[in-house]
Amino acid sequence: MQANALWAGNDYAYDSTGSGKSFTYSAVRVRVIRVFKERQNSWSERATTFADVQILNDDGTPKTTSDGKEFRTRTVRARDIVSNWQEYADERNERQERMRKREEQAAQEAAKIAEEAEIIMRALESVGISRDAVTFSIYETTHFKLRREDILAWAIENSVSVK
């Protein structure tokens, strides 16, 4: 975010990876304590904007170590603060909901394909071709593979001739 958009006391989403992606699931909730500019080196002309932040849990309580002590404040680059926390949380929840719906649709589609495959397998069994002769992949839904030697044995057994 731009430095002039950061306000002390507000909660923001911080992504420590600095990946530059439009959205990432790895952002953590932080509360800005102060915003300041600092030159990183004595020879650099421009000052970089930093923020002192407190790391929080998703519910807004301060994150603690295993012995119950709060994490110390941390200084981060202002450009690594991605967005306002509420906007980020809404976007994350929306994306997770869309992902869940896609997974449900994929599971329903896979169940439908498996049901159709079972119907085809029963039809092949009814004419005398064993299930072992047929290979079916859920990922390649348009193809069944029949072993040549099994089909040849079936053809000979049922006196099928080629004219």
For residues 48 and 80, give the distance between their C-alpha atoms in angstroms, rounded to a whole number: 12
Length of the chain equals: 163
* pLDDT tens per residue, range 49-100: 899 999 898 888 888 888 878 888 899 988 888 889 999 999 999 999 999 9
Q: Please determine, for residue 9, whether its predicted confidence score (pLDDT) is greater than 90.
A: no
Residue 32 has pLDDT above 80, yes or no: yes
Q: Which of 9-18, 23-32, 104-113, 143-152 has the lowest mean pLDDT?
A: 143-152
3-96: which CATH topology? SH3 type barrels. (2.30.30)
Question: Could you tell me where in the chain the CATH 2.30.30 domains are found?
Answer: 3-96
Paired tokens of 18: 């600095």
Q: Which residue has the higher pLDDT, 22 or 36?
A: 36
| Average pLDDT of the segment spanning 122-150 | 77
